[in-house]
């Protein structure tokens, strides 16, 4: 008969009835696995979109003679790096490697940096007379739509980073309980 102190206090809700997990379980919580898979998919998409970003930057610079800001290069570079680091962190999480924790926190830092680079870009888009929203003062719905869309996108990104941080903390706790 198992002693009560051999079990974790948190319940696993993956089965129809709650099941208490033994300390030192060989499998991390399902939430960690789910977030790892979500992160793997999202970072793969980020790499694809980042690749198109590089192509777009090159086309703007060469064919259209548009002067590109350092921020545009930084945004594309950070997103490509985030894609690579995020994929490595997700794979390490799925492999149950302790190295997933520093890689995961690096991905969190890059995600926050990416969001910080996104904020001024929205203001530039709204205020720059050469932007896609230029001359839309007579159509305030266009500007409001851009602001609402950007805010929604930013909110989703903050939510995903928060969930990822929670997954890293649960993984770290699982690692310490395993030892």
Confidence at residue 23, expressed as pLDDT on a 0 to 100 scale: 56
Q: Minimum mean pLDDT among 25-29, 127-131, 169-173: which range?
A: 127-131
Tell me which of 2 and 67 has the higher pLDDT. 67
| Distance from C-alpha of 91 to C-alpha of 117, rounded to nearest angstrom | 26
Per-residue tokens: 27: 């499998």
Of 73 and 81, the one with more pLDDT: 81
Q: Is the pLDDT of residue 49 over 80?
A: yes
User: pLDDT digits over 125-137, tens only?
Assistant: 666 655 555 555 5
Q: Supply the DSSP string of 106-131, one letter for each residue.
A: HHHHHHHHHHHHHHHHHHHHHH-TTS
Query: CA-based angle 51:53:59, to the nearest 5?
Result: 110
Half-sphere CA count of 8, side-chain side, radius 13 A: 20
| Residue 43 contacts residue 91 (beta carbons within 8 Å) | no
pTM: 0.75
How high does pLDDT run on average in the chain?
A: 82
Which tops the pLDDT comparison, 164 or 147? 164
Q: Is the pLDDT of residue 9 over 60?
A: no
Region 145-165: what's the mean pLDDT? 90
Does residue 113 surpass a pLDDT of 90?
yes
């Amino acid at each position: 008969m198992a002693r009560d102190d051999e079990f974790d206090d948190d319940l696993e809700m993956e089965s129809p009835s709650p099941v208490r997990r033994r300390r030192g379980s060989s499998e991390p919580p399902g939430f960690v696995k789910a977030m790892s898979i979500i992160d793997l998919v999202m970072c793969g998409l980020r790499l694809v979109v980042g690749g198109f970003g590089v192509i777009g930057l090159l086309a703007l610079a060469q064919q259209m003679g548009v002067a590109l800001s350092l921020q545009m290069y930084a945004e594309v570079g950070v997103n490509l790096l985030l894609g690579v680091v995020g994929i490595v962190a997700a794979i390490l999480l799925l492999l149950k490697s302790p190295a997933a924790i520093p890689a995961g926190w690096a991905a969190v830092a890059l995600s926050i940096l990416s969001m910080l680079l996104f904020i001024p870009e929205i203001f530039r888009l709204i205020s720059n007379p050469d932007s896609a929203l230029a001359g839309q003062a007579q159509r305030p719905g266009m500007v409001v739509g851009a602001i609402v869309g950007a805010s929604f996108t930013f909110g989703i990104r903050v939510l995903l980073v928060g969930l990822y941080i929670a997954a890293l903390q649960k993984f770290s706790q699982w690692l310490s309980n395993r030892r």
